[in-house]
Amino acid sequence: MPQQEARRGNVVWALVITSVAGFMAALDNLVVTTALPSIREDLGGALDDLEWTVSAYTLTFAVLLMFGAALGDRFGRRRLFGVGLTVFTAASAGAALAPGIDALVAARAVQGVGAAIMMPLTLTLLTAAVPPAKRGMAYGIWGAVNGLAVASGPLIGGALTEHVSWQWIFWLNVPLGLALLPLARLRLTESYAAGARLDALGTLLASGGLFGIVYGLIRGNIDGWTSAPVLTGLAGGGALLAGFVYHGVRHPAPMLPMRMFRNRAFSAINAASLLMFVGMFGSIFLLSQFLQNVLHYSPTEAGLRMLPWTGMPMIVAPIAGYLSDRVGGRPVVTVGLALQAVGLGWFAVVLAPDVSYAAQLPALIISGVGMALYFAPAASLVMASVRPAEQGIASGANNALREVGGALGIAILASVFSAQGGYGPPRMFVDGLEPALWVGAGVVGLAAVAASLLPRRRGGAADAGAVPAEERVPVSA
């Protein structure tokens, strides 16, 4: 009996520690969006500097995420979780203390490094602590906490910025991180993966390639699309990514095996995820500033007004999960992405310097419902598209591609925004935002097309691509 109670206590502690750590990492994706006007006012900087305050985090998070998981497998998951948490916490303090925009961007990049090591290990540590029969519930709680972080990010960022200061969106992580560090050491069990190998070359190729492309997209309108730095970034980044693909084909144990993309289900859901985040992140980045700079809402008011979009998954996700079990994930994800595209297009249609919130609300609700219908079945579709032995790589790849999509989305939509309008009078801001939203709607529409290419559900089984049923396991297992 005492042994059972101790085991139950370890499960609870593992769930608390990993959920709070995941909340911190997920929150920092969007928490900065409603603080951007205040950051710009305090530290200065142009549009490209503001882009980097978000993209520096998402880029380092994305390209190092799978490498971080491999480091944990090789050197100890609890140990590396502690390292990642320490880096993330220290970088959060550095961001809060940043004396200028360049220092803030640098701190955000280091935050992303910490999150990339910490975040993927939360699930492996949780899996090791929870008995197989209870993992479905544990994963559900972990996922709900992460969803809450995404939903509340703009609101928390806005409230802290308005009522305390924008620095507190970063200070918030420090006491949480300091509390988790000793708990992780005392309450989590160390574990390793036999024969784990690191792919340093693959990490360097992916990191350099993505940085070059995002740099070129961000600087294009500033330096000119034919300028040497921009062309070098785009061409060099493209070449490095091509090298990453070749490496993934030829290397015996690459970070991301390219053979996995021969599976139609895996390719389709990952293409849909990448495109979804391009349109969604880029749009949220600009719309949160529109609400403050043009409509003159306070940061808290802007965060609250974004909730019908960012918070809708908390309400609709259970319904989406039920529908996915009944009809399969493919139609649910496809409809969700189509609704997200319609919502962005609706927003572009009603956009005006004096648009009322009532006119915006349908677009926000439609986008929120669409996001929820995508999120609920997407993870199941990813995991069901590969064999059990490859589910860790598949999950890491999907998360990395979503983060990459976020960084690219901000760069692409902000590029359209600055080419057609920019900061200045309200009319000028709207002139740039409208075509950017149409681009976002188009990209998410392409995501819906990609999702429609998922294999159809057969005979009542879950959508699973080409993986035989006997080789699959339920996502909750």
**CA-based nearest residue to 118, from 217, 25, 228, 224:** 25
What's residue 9's pLDDT? Answer: 64
Residues 42-53 as b/e (b if ≥16 CB within 10 A, e otherwise) read bbebebbbbbbb
What's residue 153's pLDDT? Answer: 83
What's residue 462's pLDDT? Answer: 42
What is the rounded average pLDDT of the residues 162-191? 93
What's residue 471's pLDDT? Answer: 37
| Amino acid at site 93 | A
CA dihedral 11, 16, 21, 22 (to 10 degrees): 80
**Least reliable range by pLDDT among 38-42, 66-70, 201-205:** 66-70
Give the CA angle between residues 238, 243, 248 to the nearest 5°: 125
**Least reliable range by pLDDT among 18-22, 38-42, 309-313, 355-359:** 309-313
Q: CA 327 to CA 331: how far, in whole Å?
A: 7
**CA-based nearest residue to 347, from 272, 274, 406, 290:** 290
Confidence of residue 195 (pLDDT cuts 50, 70, 90): low
Q: Which alpha helices (H) appear in 130-227, and where do they start and end?
A: 135-163, 168-171, 173-187, 200-223
Task: Answer yes or no: are the C-beta atoms of 317 and 372 closer than 8 Å.
Answer: yes
- Mean pLDDT of all residues in the chain? 85
**Least reliable range by pLDDT among 91-95, 135-139, 181-185, 324-328:** 135-139
What's residue 26's pLDDT? Answer: 84
Alpha carbon 101 to its chain's center = 23
Which pLDDT tens digit goes with each residue over 355-414?
Answer: 999 999 999 999 989 988 887 687 778 777 777 667 667 777 887 888 888 888 888 998
What's residue 458's pLDDT? Answer: 52
What's residue 168's pLDDT? Answer: 95
Task: Answer yes or no: are the C-beta atoms of 59 and 218 closer than 8 Å.
Answer: no
The two structure tokens encoding residue 410 = 């901000």
Percent of the chain with pLDDT over 70: 91
Q: CA 262 to CA 265: how far, in whole Å?
A: 9
Which pLDDT tens digit goes with each residue over 214-226?
Answer: 888 878 877 888 8
Task: Answer yes or no: are the C-beta atoms of 407 and 55 closer than 8 Å.
Answer: yes
What's residue 4's pLDDT? Answer: 55
What is the rounded average pLDDT of the residues 44-66? 84
Confidence of residue 460 (pLDDT cuts 50, 70, 90): very low
What is the rounded average pLDDT of the residues 35-54? 86
Confidence of residue 470 (pLDDT cuts 50, 70, 90): very low
167: Cβ–Cβ under 8 A, 6 or more apart, which residues?
Answer: 95, 96, 97
Which pLDDT tens digit goes with each residue over 257-267?
Answer: 888 888 899 99
What's residue 110's pLDDT? Answer: 97
Q: Is the pLDDT of residue 467 over 50?
A: no
Confidence of residue 199 (pLDDT cuts 50, 70, 90): confident
**Least reliable range by pLDDT among 11-15, 123-127, 364-368, 439-443:** 123-127
**CA-based nearest residue to 277, from 400, 393, 377:** 400
Q: CA 110 to CA 89: how far, in whole Å?
A: 10
| Amino acid at site 253 | A
What's residue 377's pLDDT? Answer: 80
What is the rounded average pLDDT of the residues 286-303? 89
What is the rounded average pLDDT of the residues 146-167? 85
What's residue 469's pLDDT? Answer: 40
If you compute the radius of gyration of the chain from its CA atoms, what whole number of angstroms results? 21
What is the rounded average pLDDT of the residues 289-302? 90
Q: CA 139 to CA 404: how far, in whole Å?
A: 24
